Amino acid sequence: MTFDILSARNLLLTQILVTALMTGIIWFVQIVHYPLFLKVPAAGFVAYEQSHTIRTGLVVAPLMLVELGAAIALLLLSIASGGKLPIAIGLTPLYLWSFGCLVLIWASTFLIQAPLHNLLEQRPDAKAMELLVSTNWIRTILWSIRLGLLALLAAERIIL
């Protein structure tokens, strides 16, 4: 039982750490990085975007995969515990809302932002750049909410 509690705690703490990192990254991207796309000269934009996509992927892909893996693992561990708290952290409303935010983040990434990046890797397109900035607020807000929910859950289940 101690191992299960520590596992649930570690999975939650892992999510908090990675979610905090992703929240910081997404705010930087939203406020600084994406708006600067419009400043890159058209002649060099495709090469810039292709390099950007690779380099950004090297930073965010592992973090996003760890976040998703820890989120799913905690949910499965909670289900397997038969709802016995404190192991079943992943069945609490705060956690389920935070998990829902993560699902929406992934959906937004693959249904909206990735296709826009694919388009921009082919040609510069000011409308696509502006759409990237405006739709990225979805992920920025959701990661911020997710971090807040996980912090509340940690305060409720681990710290107090």
Say what the pTM is. 0.92
> What mean pLDDT do residues 83-99 have?
84
Residue carrying structure tokens 């990237």: 132
Pairwise CA distance, residues 91 & 85, whole Å = 9
The residue range of the domain holding 68 is 2-159
Looking at residue 160, what DSSP letter applies? -
- Closest Cα partner for 61 from 1, 114, 8, 12? 114
pLDDT of residue 8: 84
124 confidence band (pLDDT: 50, 70, 90): very high
48's CB contacts (< 8 A; 6+ apart) are: 40
Write the DSSP string, 33-100.
IGGGGGGS-HHHHHHHHHHHHHHHHHHHHHHHHHHHHHHHHHHHHHHHTTT-TTTTGGGSHHHHHHHH
Per-residue pLDDT reduced to its tens digit, 52-90: 999 999 999 999 999 999 999 999 988 888 877 666 788
Count of domains forming the chain: 1
Pairwise CA distance, residues 40 & 92, whole Å = 46
